[in-house]
Amino acid sequence: MGAILLKDATIIDATSKHHGKKRDILVENGKVVKIAATIPTNDAKVVKKDNLHVSCGWFDSNVCFGEPGFEDRETISNGLKVAAASGFTHIALNANTEPVVDNKSGIQYVKGKAQGHAVSLHPVGALTQKSKGEHLAELYDMTTEGAVSFYDYQHPIENANLLKIALQYAQNFDALVQSFPMNPSIARTGLVHEEINSTKLGLKGIPSLSEELQITRDLYLLEYTGGKLHIPTISTKKSVALIKEAKKKGLDVSCSVSINNLCLTDDTLASFDTNYKLLPPLRTKEDVTALKKGLEQGVIDGVTSNHDPRIIEDKKTEFDHAAFGSIGLESCFGALLGVVDVETAVQALIGLKKRFGLPCNAISEGVNADLTLFSPSTTWKFETKHILSTSKNAAMLEQPMQGKVYGVFANKKLVLNE
């Protein structure tokens, strides 16, 4: 690809000397070669957009597609195109496939399928064999093939000793262990948050206690073992307080929040729309306020779309029988910017890069170009026509959006939305 010139771009990057300034950015052979107030066009392809903003490329730490085994939900190829259109240059892909990605050949397979895209795919290997929670998977072998973390997607580790051993063993090769925050003996067959709305609607509840009990256990284990723990998708006020306290103690713990739990409450359940059947479940306004505050204070390290495509048969059924999950890549940025300012939003979308071992260079001359292009000022409503994923199960449908993604430049490829 020839030279690319981004014209009049406001740079949002707290680590760059150009932060908050409007600059021209010249990219050649995948590298940022010049940043200046004005750069002559010469032979470069010019990208000029309304209120163009540029930040380091965004990372989603918690994405599901389907391939291998559930290609009808989403293929890796189309999923990566969706990610690029949504402003992400890196995604961590969960292992909830068939077969489960729990060995090095599985890691090789998904990485091979992701070649040639602007978006980099980073495999998350299963923590236990077939994600059954009984025996540890081949963690070291998967690390050598490029696994960035280990997680049985939305399967809680019931056996505390197994998680203890995982945290101890993973230290030998500096691996990041994830533990889903839900105690299954408390959550049981719950469908939604246990509160007034679940009682009114006659739906079985998942108490906040199930999440908080599991987090408390996991933090005690981490304190005992050492190692690195990531708690994906916390959803309650008390969970924020628990992690804040653990960080104060010096424990090596990080966490994320799903965009759904940051923007929606269990009040939406009155419609019985199965797109709102999510894990973790949508909680109360009080929880949403605490999550937002936790994000702004840096207690919560990053926001994820928690992108989980499901085929129509999984959702067009009674609420009891419907699958949990929603797609979220396409609406993640627009929903996030509706609840926090632009600098907080960008930090939330790059905040977990270092944790997962990904580079996050300041926007400066001489670095590889890994950039997201967007406008923070465009307002719109998320509708079915905006869904690029194969599956259409979107919790954010009909929600107002703030900000528009123009595209990405990464891996020497420029991807622009129409």
CATH number of the domain at 269, please: 3.20.20.140
Give the count of alpha carbons within 13 A of 374, CB side only: 28
Instruction: Report how far residue 319's alpha carbon sits from residue 142's, in angstroms, rounded to the nearest whole number.
Output: 37
Read off the pLDDT of residues 299-356 as tens digits, 9 standing for 90 and up: 999 999 999 999 999 999 999 999 999 999 999 999 999 999 999 999 999 999 999 9
Q: Identify the pLDDT of residue 378.
A: 93
Confidence of residue 418 (pLDDT cuts 50, 70, 90): confident
Number of domains in the chain: 1
Residues in the chain: 418
Read off the pLDDT of residues 263-301 as tens digits, 9 standing for 90 and up: 999 999 999 999 999 999 999 999 999 999 999 999 999
Residue 374 within a domain: no
Decide if 392 contacts 310 (C-beta within 8 A).
Answer: no
Among residues of the chain, what percentage have pLDDT more than 90?
A: 98
Decide if 37 contacts 68 (C-beta within 8 A).
Answer: no
> How much is the pTM?
0.96
Instruction: Report how far residue 354's alpha carbon sits from residue 360's, in angstroms, rounded to the nearest whole number.
Output: 7
Residue 407 within a domain: no
Question: Residue 262 belongs to what domain range?
Answer: 57-350
Residue 35 within a domain: no
Neighbour count for residue 335 (Cβ, 10 Å): 26
Q: Identify the pLDDT of residue 2.
A: 82
Closest among 173, 217, 141, 224 to 357, alpha carbons compared: 173
Q: Identify the pLDDT of residue 1.
A: 66
Residue 179 within a domain: yes
Q: Identify the pLDDT of residue 56.
A: 97
Instruction: Report how far residue 376's alpha carbon sits from residue 366's, in angstroms, rounded to the nearest whole number.
Output: 27
Residue 77 within a domain: yes
Read off the pLDDT of residues 364-403 as tens digits, 9 standing for 90 and up: 999 999 999 999 999 999 999 999 999 999 999 999 999 9
Residue 260 within a domain: yes
